[in-house]
Structure 1
Amino acid sequence: MTRIFKYLFASLFSLTSSSLSAHQSDIYQDVIIEGTLSEKLIENLKKDPNVFYYSEHIPGYSQNATKIPIEIQENKFKVRIPMHESIGYLGLGNSVVRTIFANLILVEAGDSLSINSRNQWETKFSGKGSERATVQVQYPQTLLPINYNNHLKYSDYLEVLLDSLKTKKEIALATIQNLPNTSTLAKKIMLYNIYGCIDINYLEIINSLNQYEKMNKAFVDLNSHLKHLNANDDEAVNMSFMLILAHYSAIRAIAYHDNKDIDAIGLNVLECINKNYDHVVKDRLLAIAFIRMGKRSDLLLSLLPKNTTTIKDKLSNAILKEIAETKLPGRPAFKFSFTGLKGNRISLEHFKGKTIILDTWFNGCLACLKLAELMEPIAKHFYQNQNVVFLSINAVDGFTRFASGVSEGKYGSSQTIYGYTAGLGLTHPMIKHYQYTSFPNLLIIGKDGNIISSNPPWPVNASKAKEFIKLIEDKL
C-alpha cells in the first residue's frame, strides 16, 4: 500500500482555506437542515424524528450524541442544530440518508442544507455546505469492490485492485481540494475518513483472499503513515473516526488469522494496540476494541481496569468507564421494566432472590434462533429449579411480530417468560444501557441483583454447557 500513500499524503498538506479553525472563535452559527422526503422516507423519519449530533464520534457508541427533535409537516422537515464548535457530525433518525461515514454527515457551523431525497441512496443537496454533503453521499457507491475475474491470479487481481484504490484516493484528493465553503480542517477530516473507508475496503478483500503477508504489510504502511499524520495534524486525525476504524480492522484481521478463540483474539488486539499506538489514537482504538469485543469475552472485560489507567482522551475514558460500570461482574444490573404478552409489567424487582438468564432477540434473527436451540439443555437442567428464571426479551419488534415470534415457540423454552420493549426498540433504557446494537445477547443476573456475567459462554458443546451451568450454580 506504500505507493498508494506516497503521492497522496505529500499532496494533502497543500490544502488551503480561509475558514476559521475550531480555536479561532468561540461563537458558532447554527446549522440548519431542511428538506423534502419521499412518503416512505418521511414515514421512517417519523419513527425516530430526531437529529443526532456528535461533536466527536467513536464507532459503536452513541451515548454522547445530542438528540435534537425535528419538525415534520407532511413530507417536509426542518431542524436547527446549535453549534458549540466549528465542526461536527450529524445523522438523521432511522438512517434516512446513507453516507460513507457510517450514515453521519460532517457539517460546519453556519451550514444551511436543503435535502431532497427519493430513497436512502438518491439524495440531492443544495445550500451552503451542499457540495461537501454531496461528496459524502456519493462515495458509498464508488467504494463497492471491483468485479473479480476468476481468470486472474490473486496476485494479478490485487495489483488491479491496488491501482483501482489508488485512483479512488487521487480522485478524492482532487475533489476535496476544490470544495467551496469548507475549512482546511474539514477537508482533511473528510479526506482521512474517505481514505479510511478505502483502506477498510482493501483490507476486507485481501483478508477474504487470505493474503496474510499483504495484510501485515498493509498494517505496517497504515501505522507508518498514521504516525506521520499524528506528528503534523493530530486534530484532524482525532476527528477522522473512519481512519482509526481502518486501523482497528487491520489489527482485528491479523489477530483473527493467528487464533480463532475470542479470548486469544482479544488479547492479541490489546497487545498490538498498546505496542504500536499512542496518544488519542491508542485511546480510541482501545475504546473500539472493548465496545466490539468486550461484549463477547469476560476475560477481555477483566482486563479493562488495567488498560484504562493511562487513558487521557475524555470520550474514550467515558466509554470505557461506562462499559466497566455496566458490564463487569459484580456491578448492579440495570433495573429493567418490560411489557409481557398480556400487557403485564416485567421488572427486575419481580425476580428478587432469583437468578435470571436474560436474552434479547428479534423475530427473524437466525442467530437468535440458534441461541435458543443451544439453550435448550440449560433450560432442561434447571427445569424444576424455582430459583432460576429464563427471561427472553424481544428488543426490536412491535407487539404483532413479538407475539408471532413467541407463538412459533422457537425463541425460548417451555418455562421462558417473554417480554418486549413496547415500541421503544433500541431506544429502550436497558437496551441503551448495555449498548445492545446487534442480537442476540445473553446476560446472567444473580439473586442479589448484580451481574454474574454479561458475556456467558454460549453452550455450543457439552463442555461449554457444563461451564454455563457451573457459572449459575456457583451463585445459587
Structure 2
Amino acid sequence: MKNIIKVFLVAFICQLCVIAKAEKLKKQISLGAKVRVILDSNSTADKVWVTYKNHLWSTRFYKIPNIQMERTEKDNLFHISFLPTEKGAYISINFKRDLSIEDFIIEPGDSIVCTLYNDKWYFTGRGHEKFQCQYDVLEAKKFIPRDMSTPPKETRISKLVVLDDPYTEYLIKDFKRNLKSTYTASEIALNVLEWHKENLSDFAYNLIKANIVSQSEDASTKLLLKVKSVYGENNTNETNRIQLLKKVSELYSARRKYDLRIFSDTVLASSAMFLSFETSSSDIASYNNLKNNFKGFLRDRLLTVFFLRNLNLVNWLRDVLPLIDDKNCKELLLTKVNALAPGQPAFDFSLQNTSKKNVSLKDFKGKVILMDFWFTGCGSCEQLTEALKPVVDHFRNNSNVAFVGVSIDGDFEGWKKSVKSGLYSNEGSIDLYTNGLKSKHPIIKHYGFSGYPNLLLIDGYGKIITGSPPRPGWTAPSKAKELIELIERNLAKI
C-alpha cells in the first residue's frame, strides 16, 4: 500500500512540475519582451528603430524579411513578440551609425531599458545583464593593441603593387600580426563572457560564446582571402607572389583556432556568426560541404543562408530543396526563388527621380541595369557606393548600361540632399525614390528586401540576371572585376 501511495505522490509531483513549467512558458510567451530606448539630451536623433526577426534569424541576414518598428517619442518603448517555443531573438537598435546596437540577443520575459549617456550605453531592467554582457564584449575588443609600424612605400605599375622584397616581408608580418590580434580579441571577449556567465541563461551563454568564436574564425579566414584576392594573380613579381601566398597559407594553417564542434547543432543553428562563416564561400565545394557534412535543422538553416546569398545558383537549389524539412526555411527559399531567380521578370516599377518625374522599367529596354537599393545613414551603403566606382567608370561611355539607385528614404528633400552629397550615388547614376512609402513600397515588398544595401542585375529584356551580383568591397576587391565581366557577358546577349 505504501508503495502505491509513493507512486501516486511521485506522479502527482511530476504533474505539478509539468504544469508549472507550462505556465511559466505560457507567461513568457504572453509577455514577449520589452525594450525601452532613452537618449540623452545631447542626442540629435529624432527617430529610433528596433529591428528583429522571428525564428531566431539574425538581422544581418538582410534577405530574410524583418520586423521593423519606428518610434519618435522621447521615451521609446518597443514590444518584441515571440512565436511559441522561441527561446529568443536578435534585435538591433538603430538611430545613429556609430552608436547603434546590432544583433543583441533578447529572451522572452525580458524588459530592458537601454539608456545612451555621453555616447555610452547603460542597461537596467529584467534581463539587462544579457545586454550588458554583449555590450562589454564589444567595448573590450576596442582595447586590442594596433600595429603602429609604417609600411614601406608602395611602387605601382598601372594599378598593381610591385611586390619587392621589403613590401612582401611587410605583408607577411602584417598578416601574422592581424591573426594574433583577431585571436586576442576573441580571448578577451570570452573572458568577459565568463565574468557574466552566472547572470545568463545556458541558452544565452552558449549562443554568445558560439558567436564570439565563429566570428574569430570568420575574421581569420577573411584575412587570408583578402591577401589571395589582392595578390593572387597578375602581379609584377611572380617569385615574391608565390612566396607571399605560401607563407600566409602556412601562418593561417598554424594559427591558434577554435573547435566549433563543442557546440550543439541547436546552438550553431541559431548562431548568426556561425551561419555567416560557413556560408561565406559560393563555390561547389562549399555547397557540397553544407549538403553532405551537416544534417537536420542545422543543415536546413545553413543551406537557406547559402542560397539567399547566392540566388544565381538556383539550379543547385532545385536539387537540394527536397532535403529541407524546416517549413520556415523552405518558405523563405521558395519566396526568393519566385522573385529573384535568374530569368524571372523584374518588378515593373514606376518611381520618381529628383525632378519628381516618373521613371519606369520600360524606359531601360535594351539596357543592362544594375539597381542599388539604399537609405540615408546606411554605412554599408556608403561603402558599396565607393566600391562600385571602378564599375561605373568602366561603363561610363556605354549607353547600354544603366546604374540605378533606389532609396527607401521617407523625406523627399532629405533624399535629394543625400544624392547630392555623393555618399550614396556615383556620378552618372539614375537616382530614384520610393515615393515616400519607404520599405512598404511594392518594389521592396516584391523582392523581400529587409536590409541594405541590395544589388540587383536586370538584362535588356527586363528579366533578372541575378539577385546576388558580385558585390565589391574592401574585403573583396576582385568582385568589381567579376561584376564588370558579368555585365559584359550579358551585354553581348542583347
- TM-score w.r.t. the length of structure 2 is 0.67
- Is 1:236 equivalent to 2:267 in the alignment? yes
Could you say which residue in structure 1 is the equivalent of 2:407? 395
Kindly provide the amino acid, as one letter, of the partner of residue 138 in structure 1.
D
- Is 1:197 equivalent to 2:240 in the alignment? no
Counterparts of 1:53-202 in structure 2, within 5 Å, are 53-58=53-58, 59-61=60-62, 63-70=64-71, 72-73=72-73, 75-84=74-83, 85-94=86-95, 103-118=102-117, 122-144=120-142, 146-148=145-147, 164=184, 167-168=187-188, 170-179=190-199, 182-202=200-220
Percent identity over paired residues = 18
Partner Cα separation in structure 1 for residue 484 and residue 209 of structure 2 = 50
Following TM superposition, by how much is the alpha carbon of 1:334 offset from its aligned partner in structure 2, in angstroms? 1.8
Could you say which residue in structure 2 is the equivalent of 1:15? none
CA shift in 2, pair 1:312/1:112, >3 Å: same
Partner Cα separation in structure 2 for residue 25 and residue 462 of structure 1 = 53
CA shift in 2, pair 1:132/1:422, >3 Å: same
Following TM superposition, by how much is the alpha carbon of 1:213 offset from its aligned partner in structure 2, in angstroms? 4.3
SS of the equivalent of 1:57 reads coil
Partner Cα separation in structure 1 for residue 109 and residue 487 of structure 2 = 58
CA shift in 2, pair 1:272/1:141, >3 Å: same
Q: Is the 8 A contact 2:182 2:216 kept in 1?
A: no
Moved more, 461-470 or 276-285: 461-470
CA shift in 2, pair 1:438/1:266, >3 Å: farther
Following TM superposition, by how much is the alpha carbon of 1:308 offset from its aligned partner in structure 2, in angstroms? 2.4
Following TM superposition, by how much is the alpha carbon of 1:42 offset from its aligned partner in structure 2, in angstroms? 5.9
Could you report, residue by residue, the CA deviation over 1:331-353 in whole angstroms, capped at 9, with x for unpaired residues? 232232311232123334x559x
Could you say which residue in structure 2 is the equivalent of 1:468? 490
Counterparts of 1:353-364 in structure 2, within 5 Å, are 354-355=365-366, 357-361=368-372
Could you report, residue by residue, the CA deviation over 1:308-365 in whole angstroms, capped at 9, with x for unpaired residues? 23122334323322331122223232232311232123334x559x445333357962
Kindly provide the amino acid, as one letter, of the partner of residue 35 in structure 2.
I
Q: CA RMSD in A?
A: 4.2
Partner Cα separation in structure 2 for residue 165 and residue 339 of structure 1 = 47
Could you say which residue in structure 1 is the equivalent of 2:3? none
Q: Is the 8 A contact 1:374 1:460 kept in 2?
A: no
Following TM superposition, by how much is the alpha carbon of 1:133 offset from its aligned partner in structure 2, in angstroms? 0.5
Partner Cα separation in structure 2 for residue 156 and residue 460 of structure 1 = 29
Partner Cα separation in structure 2 for residue 123 and residue 464 of structure 1 = 45
CA shift in 2, pair 1:366/1:94, >3 Å: same
Q: Is the 8 A contact 2:52 2:89 kept in 1?
A: no
CA shift in 2, pair 1:357/1:325, >3 Å: same
SS of the equivalent of 2:427 reads coil
Following TM superposition, by how much is the alpha carbon of 1:410 offset from its aligned partner in structure 2, in angstroms? 2.2
Following TM superposition, by how much is the alpha carbon of 1:429 offset from its aligned partner in structure 2, in angstroms? 4.3
Following TM superposition, by how much is the alpha carbon of 1:56 offset from its aligned partner in structure 2, in angstroms? 1.0
Could you say which residue in structure 2 is the equivalent of 1:325? 338
Could you say which residue in structure 1 is the equivalent of 2:155? none
Could you report, residue by residue, the CA deviation over 1:106-140 in whole angstroms, capped at 9, with x for unpaired residues? 11222121121036x61000111111101111212
- Is 1:367 equivalent to 2:377 in the alignment? no
CA shift in 2, pair 1:288/1:171, >3 Å: same
CA shift in 2, pair 1:164/1:301, >3 Å: same
Please tell me whether Structure 1 or Structure 2 has the larger radius of gyration of its CA atoms: 2
Could you say which residue in structure 2 is the equivalent of 1:7? none
Following TM superposition, by how much is the alpha carbon of 1:287 offset from its aligned partner in structure 2, in angstroms? 2.7
Partner Cα separation in structure 2 for residue 170 and residue 104 of structure 1 = 17
SS of the equivalent of 2:324 reads coil
Following TM superposition, by how much is the alpha carbon of 1:22 offset from its aligned partner in structure 2, in angstroms? 9.6
Partner Cα separation in structure 2 for residue 460 and residue 207 of structure 1 = 15
Partner Cα separation in structure 2 for residue 464 and residue 156 of structure 1 = 35
Could you report, residue by residue, the CA deviation over 1:249-292 in whole angstroms, capped at 9, with x for unpaired residues? 5xx3xxxxxxxxxxxx5223213323432223333232333333
SS of the equivalent of 1:25 reads helix
Following TM superposition, by how much is the alpha carbon of 1:51 offset from its aligned partner in structure 2, in angstroms? 4.3
Gaps of 5+ in 1: 1-19, 253-264, 383-388
SS of the equivalent of 1:359 reads strand
From 245, 249, 260, the counterpart of 1:212: 249
Could you say which residue in structure 2 is the equivalent of 1:246? 277
CA shift in 2, pair 1:302/1:216, >3 Å: farther
Partner Cα separation in structure 2 for residue 426 and residue 315 of structure 1 = 22
Could you report, residue by residue, the CA deviation over 1:150-199 in whole angstroms, capped at 9, with x for unpaired residues? 699689858965873574365145224211xx432222222222232333
- The size of the alignment, in residue pairs, is 404
Partner Cα separation in structure 2 for residue 114 and residue 452 of structure 1 = 45
Could you say which residue in structure 1 is the equivalent of 2:167? none
- TM-score w.r.t. the length of structure 1 is 0.69
Partner Cα separation in structure 2 for residue 183 and residue 123 of structure 1 = 22
Kindly provide the amino acid, as one letter, of the partner of residue 419 in structure 1.
L
Q: Is the 8 A contact 2:112 2:124 kept in 1?
A: yes
Kindly provide the amino acid, as one letter, of the partner of residue 267 in structure 1.
I
SS of the equivalent of 2:342 reads coil
Q: Is the 8 A contact 1:459 1:465 kept in 2?
A: no
Partner Cα separation in structure 2 for residue 462 and residue 325 of structure 1 = 26
CA shift in 2, pair 1:177/1:371, >3 Å: same
Could you say which residue in structure 2 is the equivalent of 1:12? none
- Is 1:26 equivalent to 2:26 in the alignment? yes
Q: Is the 8 A contact 1:405 1:411 kept in 2?
A: no
- Is 1:342 equivalent to 2:355 in the alignment? yes
Following TM superposition, by how much is the alpha carbon of 1:103 offset from its aligned partner in structure 2, in angstroms? 0.2
